């Protein structure tokens, strides 16, 4: 076979596509010319026909596709080719070395690694040297004895955590199943002996879900299978963890039953520390469904987090109950992951931090109640998971749609990522779609689906419904591609249909239409696609929202109500808000108390957009003498910043900047001591 990396990717794209793929789409995605594309298609077609398949089908004016009945076999044929011709990367070689030294009972020496990884002695020695450096971070080392050959030495718990950290949480291991393919590829060890109990482990974990009345996310379930299988291989060799304690009784009991199932097929010693360690792993696993009783401390914490996020972001979530349920599904596993130091890397967290920085920073500040509950620092990777969840809820709006297409999201990564995909789809298709409740891949396989099309993070080989594969966070190019692929499947309203028909009839009066359906699809794409709204680029800064003209100084106010009115007067006079908005801000404080005080000495009055916010803006009032919002000392305020927000997202960048300023020492003291608008404005610009 003569397929190279690019033609393999093109063929994979054809395999997972549920419709025609246009030449222009592939040329753009792979940055190749029309001639190169034609050459690649001919090469793929030739190889498929040599292998006994029908090849690539081309339909004029539509594009290219593979016969649906052949796709599964083509995929198997391609996977076999990829495995047999694969050249292992340096990272893959080191992962293979670690697993061969820790999860196999055979004696491994340098010569074996040379043969299995198909590299020179010098390369193997270099790989081992680099692996040793990483192992040092876990207080582990590679040793040698004549009986066992090369072995990994150190604390057993650290060996297992290294497997999770280095082998599974690795950017080169895209899917959990890839790790099995990697270690079983071109090795002289009996392949059935590598993670030999994996099918048994999978069945046992299904039972755990039933016993604990929960369902793990697809990604976590597959990961648990590998983690537990690795533990089993270690215990088979007589390696047990020590001094592990877990206080969550129902999970410990489930872990005990799981461990005893392993004892039935292996000669394990009953070990309480192993059971407790297994329970900790189960506790830290993300879920999509949980019917078990939730501890009050988590319920209380989740309510506080939502309240703090609303206060810091100056918004009110519409679906409070659903948000709290989704938050709890992540909060509890995150608590145990951090508490027991079982690191779970979110591969896309740097991307989230960059593209959704406003949400990330506000989320980090809103998690103070969680930090207090843990009494530990919350890693950025965990904050990113919470950010995904809140980001997904920020743009959920109630709307009446004339024509809706039912869209199902299938996501292997959990509810937070599903909500983030929902949010992006709502941005791209604000009036055209009805989003069904997201499903995991396992739920999709178990249930009948009634949707017009599916948006999935994984390829679906057996769907009769159009499927569009996406990454959790879409860049501009991916958004454009998704719009181009989905737009032909929908019209927004009856008026859209009427407009399209009118244009087609007009064109027909003055020309001959060779392919009416093809012209119709192209017109849909041009007329009805939604412009991309890049939130990260359009959210204004605090300096843009709060000009000098809306900064006021005053000695004192009669009470907090008049203070809010005075502070918001510049916005009222310039047409940013209505009088009703002023009244709503006061009513909110009367109803909920002084929740608008974001830090001692400073308040952030605001109301809902529908209360009379016409434009996005801020105004500032600085008082020489404080005004009291209650009889408590902490509720005395000298600075009021009024926010007029037209939605739940656009103002977040300015609020993030404001939060950063407030957190700096001496900020409030500096502002109160200033005498001119220019001084204050310059400070806000910093």
Contact call for residues 428 and 434 (beta carbons, < 8 A):
no
Tell me whether residue 606 is one of the annotated catalytic residues: yes
Pairing of strands 57-59, 63-65: antiparallel
According to DSSP, residue 163 is labeled: I
The dihedral of CA 171, 176, 179, 181: what is its sign? Answer: negative
- Which residues in 260-274 are b (16+ Cβ under 10 Å) and which e? ebbeeeeebeebebb
What the block records as the tokens of 337 is 């992951």
**φ/ψ of residue 141, rounded to 5:** -150, 165
What is each CA distance from 630 to 312, 600, 621, 662, in whole angstroms? 20, 13, 19, 22
Helix (H, G, I), strand (E, B) or coil at 481: helix
Order of all β-strands in the sheet with 433-435: 433-435, 405-410, 453-456, 467-469
Q: How far apart are CA 596 and CA 460, in angstroms?
A: 48
- CB-based contacts of 370, cutoff 8 Å, min separation 6: 301, 305, 331, 334, 335, 378
Return the exposure string of 70-105: e unless at least 16 CB atoms fall within 10 Å of the residue's CB, then b: bbeebbebbeebeeeeeebeebbbbbbbbbbbbbbe
**Residue written as token pair 């004192």:** 556
Report how far residue 357's alpha carbon sits from residue 198's, in angstroms, rounded to the nearest whole number.
40
Using DSSP's 3-state secondary structure scheme, residue 626 falls into strand
Sign of CA dihedral 27, 32, 38, 39: negative
Please give the sequence-ordered ranges of beta strands (E in DSSP) within 324-450, or none if there are none.
405-410, 433-435
Sign of the alpha-carbon torsion through 326, 332, 333, 334: positive
- At 133, is the secondary structure helix, strand, or coil? helix
Secondary structure (3-state) at 637:
strand
CB 633 within 8 A of CB 663: no
Q: How far apart are CA 534 and CA 611, in angstroms?
A: 26
Extract the tokens encoding 520. 């119709």
> At residue 399, what are phi and psi to the nearest 5 degrees?
-150, 150
DSSP per position, 24-52? HHHHHHHT--HHHHHHHHHHHHHHHHHTT
Strand ranges (E), 380-472: 405-410, 433-435, 453-456, 467-469
Q: Which of 135, 163, 152 is nearest to 231 (CA)?
A: 163
Q: What angle do CA 32, 38, 39 make, to 5 degrees?
A: 90
Quote the tokens at residue 54: 């029908």
> Which of these, 501, 412, 359, 374, lies nearest to 219 by C-alpha position?
412
Asked whether 179 and 95 are in contact (CB, 8 A), the reply is: yes
Catalytically annotated residue among 330, 489, 606, 651: 606
628 φ, ψ (degrees, to nearest 5): -95, 130
Do the beta carbons of residue 405 and residue 452 sit within 8 Å? yes
Contact of 576 with 539, CB cutoff 8 Å: no
Phi and psi torsions of 119, nearest 5° = -135, 175
DSSP three-state, residue 572 = helix
Residues tagged active-site: 606
């Amino acid at each position: 076979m003569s397929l190279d990396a690019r033609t393999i990717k093109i063929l994979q794209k054809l395999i997972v596509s549920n419709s025609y793929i246009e030449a222009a789409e592939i040329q753009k995605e792979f940055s190749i010319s029309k001639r190169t594309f034609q050459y690649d298609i001919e090469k793929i077609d030739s190889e498929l026909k040599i292998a006994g398949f029908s090849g690539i089908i081309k339909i004029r004016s539509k594009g290219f596709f593979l016969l649906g009945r052949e796709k599964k076999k083509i995929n198997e044929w391609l996977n076999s080719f990829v495995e047999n011709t694969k050249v292992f990367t340096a990272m893959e070689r080191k992962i293979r070395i670690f697993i061969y030294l820790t999860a196999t009972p055979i004696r491994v020496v340098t010569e074996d690694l040379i043969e299995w990884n198909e590299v020179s002695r010098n390369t193997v020695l270099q790989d081992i040297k680099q692996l040793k450096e990483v192992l040092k971070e876990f207080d582990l080392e590679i040793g040698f004895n004549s009986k066992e050959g090369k072995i990994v030495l150190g604390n057993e718990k650290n060996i297992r955590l290294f497997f999770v950290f280095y082998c599974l949480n690795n950017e080169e291991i895209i899917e959990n199943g890839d790790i099995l393919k990697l270690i079983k590829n071109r090795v002289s060890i009996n392949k059935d002996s590598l993670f030999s109990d994996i099918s048994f482990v999978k069945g046992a974990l299904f039972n755990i879900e039933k016993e604990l009345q929960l369902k793990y996310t697809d990604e976590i379930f597959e990961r648990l299978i590998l983690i537990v299988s690795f533990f089993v291989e270690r215990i088979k060799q007589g390696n047990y963890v020590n001094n592990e304690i877990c206080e969550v009784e129902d999970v410990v009991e489930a872990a005990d039953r799981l461990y005893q199932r392993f004892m039935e097929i292996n000669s394990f010693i009953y070990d309480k520390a192993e059971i407790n360690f297994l329970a900790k792993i189960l506790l830290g696993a993300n879920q999509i469904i949980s019917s078990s009783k939730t501890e009050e401390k988590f319920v209380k914490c989740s309510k506080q987090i939502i309240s703090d996020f609303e206060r810091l972001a100056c918004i009110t979530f519409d679906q409070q109950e659903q948000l709290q349920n989704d938050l709890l599904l992540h909060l509890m596993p995150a608590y145990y992951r951090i508490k027991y130091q079982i690191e779970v890397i979110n591969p896309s967290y740097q991307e989230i931090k960059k593209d959704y920085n406003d949400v990330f920073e506000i989320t980090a500040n809103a998690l103070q109640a969680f930090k207090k509950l843990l009494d530990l620092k919350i890693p950025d990777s965990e904050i990113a998971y919470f950010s995904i969840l809140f980001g997904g809820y920020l743009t959920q709006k109630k709307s009446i749609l004339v024509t809706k297409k039912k869209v199902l999201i299938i996501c292997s990564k959990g509810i937070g990522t599903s909500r983030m995909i929902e949010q992006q789809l709502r941005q791209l298709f604000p009036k055209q779609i009805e989003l069904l409740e997201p499903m995991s891949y396992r739920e999709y396989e178990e249930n009948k689906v009634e949707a017009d099309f599916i948006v999935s993070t994984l390829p679906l080989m057996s769907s009769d419904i159009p499927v569009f594969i996406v990454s959790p966070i879409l860049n501009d190019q991916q958004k454009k591609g998704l719009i181009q692929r989905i737009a032909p499947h929908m019209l927004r309203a009856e008026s859209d249909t009427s407009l399209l028909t009118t244009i087609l009839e007009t064109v027909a009066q003055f020309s001959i239409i060779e392919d009416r359906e093809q012209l119709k699809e192209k017109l849909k794409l041009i007329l009805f696609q939604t412009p991309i709204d890049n939130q990260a680029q359009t959210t204004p800064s605090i300096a843009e929202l709060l000009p000098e003209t809306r900064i006021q100084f005053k000695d004192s106010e009669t009470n907090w109500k008049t203070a809010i009115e005075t502070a918001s007067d510049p916005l009222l006079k310039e047409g940013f808000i209505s009088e009703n908005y002023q009244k709503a801000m006061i009513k909110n404080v009367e109803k909920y108390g002084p929740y608008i005080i974001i830090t001692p000495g400073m308040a952030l009055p605001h109301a809902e957009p529908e209360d009379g916010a016409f434009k996005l803006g801020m105004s500032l009032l600085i008082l020489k003498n404080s005004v009291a919002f209650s009889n408590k000392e902490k509720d005395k305020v000298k600075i009021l910043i009024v926010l007029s927000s037209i939605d739940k997202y656009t103002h977040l960048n300015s609020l993030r900047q404001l939060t950063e300023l407030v957190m700096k020492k001496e900020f409030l003291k500096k502002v109160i001591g200033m005498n001119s608008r220019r001084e204050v404005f310059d400070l806000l610009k910093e």
